[in-house]
C-alpha cells in the first residue's frame, strides 16, 4: 500500500475560513449611485479581520500510513522508520570429493643364497625398502592446499608374504621384524604402532597376509607444508615402505636359494572430508531492494535526504568452519539508470573495513556511524558514505554481494556436501536528519472561489495573511514566495497577483528536541492592481521546503505536532466597500 501525505490544511486552512462578506441592499426607490459616491472606507489605517485557528495536526494525521507500508512508526518509540526486508539468494557451495588411486609396491629379500639340501635353521637380517605411490586427479579448484583427506569408507592396505620353492622349508618366523609404512597414511586406531610401524615378532610368515584399514591421508600439520595441486589439478603422493629386522627359516631339504617378497597393495580411496586451505566459490544473486510505497514528500525530484544513521542489516548463516568475508557494491537506481554515478562499496576487497561472517549465525549492521542498537546485531561496520544510497531517494538499491573465503589457514570441510548460506537483508532508516536535508512538499488548496466570490464589492489592492504557528516538529519549514501559485476557477494562474514574503517571515522554526513547541509567524503579502482580486482566487498551490535547522539528529515521531493558533487577514489602509 502507498503511504499518503495529507494536504497540510493546518498551514492553509485559513483560506477556507474567510467569512462571507455581504453588502446591504439599497432600496430601489433611492437612486443614490447617480449623485453620491457610495464608496466607504472601513478600518482606517489598518484593518485586521480574525479568521480563526486550526486544530492540532499530529504527524500521524499529516503522514498517513497503512499496515504493510514501508514507512511505519516504531511501536515503542513512535519514531518513523523506513523499513524493508527480504531474502538474498545465495547458491549452495560444494567442493567435489577427491579420489585417490590405488597403489602397490613390493619388497624382496633372499633369505638363503644357496642351500645344499641339509636341514637346519637359518637367520637372515633384513633391510629393504621401496616406494608406494598414489595420485589424485581433477581436484576441485577450491582446494588450494591439502593437509589431510578423510576416507568416505575405510580402505584396505594388504601385506602379503610369498616365497619361491627352490628349497623345502617348514617355516619362516619373524624376529622383531619392523615394517615401516608411509607416514601419510592414517590407520584405524590400534592397528599400527606410533609412527606407522608394524612390529611382527614370532609370527609365521609362510602364506601369511595382514590386512590394515586406512581411514585417510595426512600430509602435514601446518599451512605451507601440505600437498598443492599442480596446474592440471593433480597431486602425486609417495612414501617409503621399509622392512627391517630378522627372520628365522627352518630348512627341511632341497637345494638352491630361498627368496621372500612382501607385496603391499592399497585400494582406491574416495575422500569426503578435507583439512587444508579451502577457498570455495560462493555465488549470490544480485538483489534489488525496492523502495516502493514511499510518502509523496520523499519522492519529489528535489528532495535530498541526509539521514543521521541509516542501517542495512545483512543476516546470514555461515555453515563453513571458516570466516566468510563479504564484499558488496550497492547502487541506487532510478528506473534502469544509476543515480548520478553514485554507489557504495564495502568490504576489504575494495579497500574498506572487512565485513566478516563468522561460522554460525550473523547479523552484520552497515551504518553511517558504525553504531547500531538493533537487537541481535553481532557486528557493526562503519560505512561513512552509506547516505549516498538515499540522498536522492531511489526506486531501488541494487545489491551485488560477493561472499569470499580469504582464509589462508587450515580448516576442515566436508567434500560433496552442499553448504547452504541462508541470507536476508533488512533496511532500517530512522527519520532523523543532518544539515544537508532538503525535503520538498507540494500541495494545494482548492475550491476557494465559492467562499471568496462575494468579495467582488470589496475594493482593495493589498492583503496580508498572518499565521501564528506552534511547531513541535524538529524540522524547520520554509515557504518562499516563488513557491506559491494562485489560480482562478479555470486553472489559470492569476499573474496579476504578486506574492512577497519577507525573509524573516518565511520560516516556521523547528522544535529543537521534538517535544517543546516553538512559536513562529508567517506573513504572505498579496498585491494587485485588480481591486477585486480576492474574489477571483480559487486555488493556491504551494511548495514547502523542510530543512533540519539546528535540530539535527532529532528523529521524527508520529506524536509530534503543529498547530496554527491564529489566522488573520490584514488589510493595510483599511477596506473600501463600493455601495453604489
Of residues 12 and 386, the one with the higher pLDDT is 386
Residue 331 has pLDDT above 60, yes or no: yes
DSSP secondary structure string for all residues of 168-224 = EEEEEEEEEEEEEPPTTEEE-TTSSBTTTEEEE-SEE-TT-EEEEEEEEEE--SSTT
Q: What does the pLDDT read at residue 52?
A: 52
Residue position matching grid coordinates 511547531: 471
Choose the weakest-confidence range: 106-115, 140-149, 404-413: 106-115
The dihedrals phi and psi of 452, each to the nearest 5 degrees, come to: -105, -15
Q: What is the pLDDT of residues 31-40, one digit of tens each?
A: 333 443 334 4
For residue 321, give the H/E element and its range. none
Please report, for residues 13, 56, 75, 434, 468, the alpha-carbon distance to residue 559 in angstroms, rounded to integers and kept in the order given. 21, 11, 12, 21, 21
Q: How confident is the model at residue 566 (pLDDT cuts 50, 70, 90)?
A: confident
Q: Which of 7-11, 22-26, 231-235, 313-317 has the lowest mean pLDDT?
A: 22-26
pLDDT (tens digit per residue) in 52-81: 556 788 888 778 788 888 999 999 999 999
Scanning 324-470, the segments in alpha helix (DSSP H) are: 449-452
Mean pLDDT of 323-339: 94
The CA-atom distances, in angstroms, between 121 and each of 118, 171, 172, 252, 545 are 10, 10, 10, 9, 112
CB 367 within 8 A of CB 382: yes
Integer Cα distance of 284 and 347 in angstroms: 15
Lookup result for grid cell 531517494:
393
Whether the pLDDT of residue 20 is over 60: the answer is no
- Which among 89, 554, 21 has a CA at the least distance from the CA of 287? 89
Determine the pLDDT at residue 92. Answer: 96
Q: Contacts by 200-204 with C-beta closer than 8 Å and gap 24+?
A: 200/174, 200/245, 201/174, 201/175, 201/176, 201/177, 202/173, 202/174, 202/175, 203/173, 203/174, 203/177, 204/171, 204/172, 204/173, 204/174
Decide which of 314 and 11 is more confident.
314
Q: Which residue has the cell 595426512?
A: 218
Residue 2 pLDDT > 80? no
How far apart are the C-alpha atoms of 266 and 100, rounded to whole Å? 10
SS3 422: coil
Q: What's the grid cell of residue 411? A: 580448516
Res 8 pLDDT > 60: no
Per-residue pLDDT reduced to its tens digit, 83-110: 999 999 999 999 999 999 999 999 999 9
**Cβ atoms of residues 52 and 484 within 8 Å:** no
Model's pTM, two decimal places? 0.78
Question: Mean of the per-residue pLDDT values for the chain?
Answer: 86
**What is the arithmetic mean of pLDDT over 288-296?**
85
pLDDT in tens, 197-229: 999 999 999 989 999 999 999 998 788 889 999
pLDDT in tens, 118-168: 788 999 999 999 999 999 999 999 999 999 999 999 999 999 999 987 788
CA distance 537 to 514: 36
Question: Which pLDDT tens digit goes with each residue over 469-527?
Answer: 899 999 998 889 998 888 988 999 999 999 999 998 999 999 999 999 999 999 989 99
Amino acid at each position: 500500500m502507498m503511504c499518503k501525505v495529507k494536504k497540510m490544511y493546518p498551514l492553509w486552512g485559513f483560506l477556507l475560513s474567510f467569512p462571507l462578506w455581504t453588502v446591504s441592499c439599497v432600496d430601489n426607490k433611492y437612486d443614490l449611485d447617480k449623485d453620491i459616491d457610495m464608496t466607504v472606507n472601513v478600518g482606517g489605517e489598518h484593518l485586521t479581520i480574525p479568521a480563526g485557528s486550526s486544530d492540532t495536526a499530529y504527524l500521524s494525521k499529516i503522514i498517513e500510513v497503512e499496515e504493510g507500508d514501508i514507512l511505519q512508526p516504531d511501536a515503542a518509540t513512535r519514531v518513523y522508520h523506513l523499513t524493508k526486508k527480504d531474502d538474498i539468494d545465495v547458491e549452495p557451495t560444494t567442493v567435489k570429493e577427491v579420489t585417490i588411486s590405488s597403489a602397490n609396491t613390493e619388497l624382496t629379500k633372499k633369505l638363503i643364497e644357496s642351500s645344499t639340501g641339509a636341514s637346519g635353521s637359518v637367520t637372515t637380517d633384513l633391510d629393504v625398502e621401496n616406494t608406494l605411490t598414489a595420485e589424485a586427479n581433477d581436484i576441485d579448484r577450491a582446494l588450494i592446499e591439502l593437509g589431510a583427506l578423510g576416507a568416505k569408507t575405510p580402505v584396505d592396505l594388504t601385506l602379503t608374504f610369498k616365497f619361491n620353492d627352490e628349497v623345502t622349508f617348514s617355516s619362516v618366523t619373524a624376529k622383531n621384524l619392523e615394517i615401516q609404512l608411509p607416514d601419510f597414511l592414517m590407520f584405524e586406531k590400534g592397528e599400527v604402532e606410533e609412527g606407522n610401524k608394524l612390529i611382527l615378532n614370532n609370527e609365521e610368515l609362510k602364506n601369511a597376509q595382514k590386512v590394515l584399514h586406512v581411514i585417510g591421508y595426512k600430509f602435514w600439520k601446518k599451512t605451507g607444508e601440505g600437498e598443492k595441486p599442480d596446474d592440471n589439478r593433480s597431486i602425486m603422493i609417495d612414501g617409503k615402505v621399509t622392512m627391517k629386522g630378522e627372520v628365522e627359516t627352518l630348512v627341511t631339504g632341497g637345494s638352491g636359494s630361498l627368496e621372500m617378497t612382501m607385496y603391499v597393495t592399497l585400494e582406491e580411496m574416495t575422500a569426503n572430508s578435507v583439512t587444508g586451505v579451502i577457498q570455495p566459490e560462493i555465488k549470490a544473486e544480485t538483489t534489488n531492494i525496492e523502495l516502493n510505497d514511499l510518502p509523496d514528500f520523499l519522492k519529489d525530484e528535489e528532495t535530498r535526504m541526509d539521514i543521521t544513521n541509516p542501517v542495512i542489516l545483512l543476516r546470514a548463516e555461515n555453515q563453513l568452519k571458516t570466516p566468510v568475508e563479504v564484499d558488496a557494491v550497492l547502487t541506487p537506481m532510478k528506473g534502469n539508470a544509476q543515480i548520478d554515478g553514485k554507489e557504495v562499496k564495502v568490504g576489504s576487497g575494495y579497500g574498506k573495513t572487512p565485513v566478516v561472517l563468522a561460522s554460525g549465525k550473523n547479523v552484520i549492521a552497515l551504518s553511517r556511524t558504525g553504531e547500531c542498537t538493533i537487537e541481535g546485531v553481532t557486528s557493526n561496520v562503519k560505512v561513512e558514505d552509506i547516505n549516498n544510497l538515499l540522498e536522492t531517494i531511489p526506486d531501488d538499491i541494487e545489491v551485488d554481494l560477493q561472499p569470499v573465503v580469504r582464509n589462508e589457514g587450515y580448516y576442515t570441510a566436508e567434500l560433496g556436501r552442499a553448504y547452504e548460506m541462508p541470507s536476508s537483508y533488512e533496511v532500517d532508516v530512522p527519520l532523523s536528519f543532518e544539515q544537508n536535508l532538503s525535503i520538498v512538499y507540494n500541495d494545494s488548496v482548492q475550491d476557494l472561489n465559492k467562499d471568496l466570490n462575494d468579495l467582488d464589492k470589496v475594493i482593495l489592492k493589498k492583503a496580508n495573511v498572518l499565521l501564528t504557528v506552534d511547531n513541535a516538529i524538529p524540522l524547520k519549514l520554509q515557504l518562499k514566495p516563488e513557491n506559491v501559485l494562485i489560480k482562478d476557477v479555470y486553472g489559470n494562474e492569476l499573474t496579476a497577483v504578486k506574492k512577497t514574503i519577507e525573509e524573516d517571515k518565511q520560516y516556521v522554526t523547528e522544535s529543537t528536541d521534538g517535544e517543546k513547541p516553538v512559536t513562529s509567524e508567517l506573513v504572505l503579502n498579496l498585491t494587485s492592481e485588480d481591486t477585486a482580486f480576492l474574489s477571483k482566487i480559487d486555488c493556491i498551490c504551494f511548495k514547502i521546503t523542510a530543512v533540519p535547522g539546528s535540530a539535527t539528529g532529532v528523529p521524527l515521531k508520529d506524536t509530534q505536532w503543529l498547530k496554527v493558533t491564529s489566522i488573520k487577514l490584514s488589510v493595510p489602509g483599511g477596506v473600501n466597500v463600493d455601495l453604489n
